[in-house]
Amino acid sequence: MTDAQENRRQVLYWRLLSRLFDHEEQSTLESASLAVLQDIGLPPALLDAQAGIDSIVQRHPDLAAEFDGVMVPEAEDERDKAAEVRRAALVSKVLLNVFSTGSGPVTAGQLSRWQADAGWLERALGCQPGQLRGGGRQAGRTGTGNGSGAPDLSTLIPRIGPELGAMEADLVKRMRLREVLADPALAAQLTPSMSLIEQLLRDKDNLSGVALANAKSLIRRYVDEVAEVLRTEVEKASAGTLDRSVPPKRVFRNLDLDRTIWKNLTNWSPEEERLYVDRLYYRQTARKTTPQRLIAVVDQSGSMVDSMVNCAILASIFAGLPKVDVHLIAYDTQALDLTPWVNDPFETLLRTKLGGGNDGMVAMAMAQAKIAEPANTVVVWISDFYETRIEQLFDCMAAIHRSGAKFIPVGSVTSSGRGSVNPWFRERFKDLGTPVVSGHVRKLVHELKTFLTS
């Protein structure tokens, strides 16, 4: 019986490989796979290349729990051979739907289905939908849909996130986006993602009327979803110490009930069994803060779109903190001061122009003019640092650091933690004592919150 189960599993995986690499239906493998599914009680729809996983789960709700975490490695003795066959069937469906994208034009419905299937792949790997692709409402959250802990993605599949993002970007490029945006019914099928937002930002100057309105709606939806996640990261980061010199606000939510009872115990009346309260006590909530200036400089070349979106949102969040003066500069071969719109990341992004080369010196001149009190200033420079005037730019950055301002070079501000940095700059920043912050966006949040509230 064990050999029979092994043969079934091999049939399903051979069919998967055949579908992925031959692109032609192998009738023998198809019929054998159908027989396997019938034997183990799984629906034949798992073999239908046109069936999205969402539609299968709607018809067979019990399968949702099986898809969750199905690709997370487990100890060999935790699964029997029969369970491995079911796993092979589910894994094959997920991989085939995500990685067999075909060629030619893509409709809005096909893109939407792929995005949903990619979300199921992320769930199968033990993540939340959108987490590996770096954006959206779920970005940055961990754990599977069934509540298990987050996997070690670096040992699971190190490059799966960027690959998914590249595949989604290819699908978006193959879609006649302008025609889709001009049709409200088709535009409603689109789910905002980083790949889609990048294309919308690149093409926004060529859109008008209904198409432009739909593009703006998608951008704002995405901005709001990511802002919700990043705002949570900021709130979780370390805050300043309590400022005892500021009287607590006398509102109900600050009432210190335990202290109030303790301080008024002498007013207890045994006869009436009642506590008379002479004074209410409130908790301190004010934090010690020093007026700080945050200058964020963002490379807006094509390779940095993820960082541009996240930084615009982060800048708006920090601009809402008390006593934080936020300035935002974007650059490619020219610099653009986005400070007047820093409180609205949506308006900020609409004013960016993605693409072009990199000349950080044009942004450096603008940033230097904004440094009034170095000790109370933090300069965050976000780029891959593939620049034209590298030595001149680095000398200026080193001068900012020596002036007493805090200089934070950042290689990526993505939600998935991917990005590359010019190794020449990386080594020199390390020697300067200002190593490049790269990886998940929460690393930058922690650095900024620590400086701004210390």
Query: Can you tell me whether residue 105 is helix, strand or coil?
Result: coil
- pLDDT tens digits, 87-133: 999 999 999 999 988 888 888 888 889 999 999 998 998 888 877 77
pLDDT confidence tier of residue 144, bands split at 50, 70 and 90? very low
DSSP 127-157: B-TTTTTT-STTTT-BS-TTSPPPP-HHHH-
Whats the size of the chain, residue-wise? 454
Query: What ranges in 320-440 are assigned the alpha helix state H?
Result: 345-350, 360-368, 390-402, 423-432
pLDDT exceeds 90 at position 42? yes
Hey, what domains does the chain have and what are their CATH numbers? Answer: 2-231 (no CATH), 243-286 (no CATH), 292-452 (3.40.50.410)
The answer to whether 220 touches 187, Cβ cutoff 8 Å, is no
Over pLDDT 90: what percentage of the chain? 28
pLDDT exceeds 90 at position 425? yes
- pLDDT tens digits, 62-100: 999 999 988 887 666 556 788 889 999 999 999 999 998
pLDDT exceeds 70 at position 159? no
Q: Side-chain half-sphere of 20: how many Cα atoms within 13 Å? A: 14
Sign of the Cα pseudo-torsion (444, 346, 365, 291, in order):
negative
Given this model, what pLDDT does residue 168 score? 85
What whole-number distance in Å separates Cα of residue 110 and Cα of residue 57?
18
What whole-number distance in Å separates Cα of residue 295 and Cα of residue 161?
30
The token pair at 339 is: 């400070």
- pLDDT tens digits, 334-373: 899 999 999 888 888 888 876 667 889 999 999 999 999 9
**Max Cα distance, the chain (Å):** 91
Q: Which of 15-24, 136-145, 386-395 is least confident?
A: 136-145
Query: Can you tell me whether residue 263 is helix, strand or coil?
Result: helix
Given this model, what pLDDT does residue 421 score? 84
> Which is more confident, 83 or 235?
83
Listed in order, strand segments (DSSP E) in 282-323 are: 292-299
Q: What is the mean pLDDT of the chain?
A: 81
> Which is more confident, 175 or 147?
175
What whole-number distance in Å separates Cα of residue 290 and Cα of residue 309?
28
The CA-based angle 375-377-381, given to 5 degrees, is 130
pLDDT exceeds 50 at position 24? yes
* DSSP structural state of residue 289: -
Bridge-based pairing state of the strands 406-410 and 292-299? unpaired
112-116, Cβ contacts within 8 angstroms, sequence gap of 24 or more: 112/189, 112/190, 112/191, 113/52, 113/54, 114/167, 114/168, 114/171, 115/168, 115/191, 115/193, 116/52, 116/53, 116/54, 116/191
Given this model, what pLDDT does residue 276 score? 83
What whole-number distance in Å separates Cα of residue 138 and Cα of residue 31?
39
- pLDDT tens digits, 176-201: 889 899 999 989 888 888 888 888 88
> Which is more confident, 450 or 127?
127
Given this model, what pLDDT does residue 414 score? 60
pLDDT exceeds 80 at position 413? no
Q: 124 exposed, middle or buried (CB, 10 Å; 0-12, 13-18, 19+)? A: buried
Q: 115 exposed, middle or buried (CB, 10 Å; 0-12, 13-18, 19+)? A: buried
Given this model, what pLDDT does residue 25 score? 60
Q: Which of 1-15, 169-183, 196-210 is least confident?
A: 1-15
Given this model, what pLDDT does residue 313 score? 84
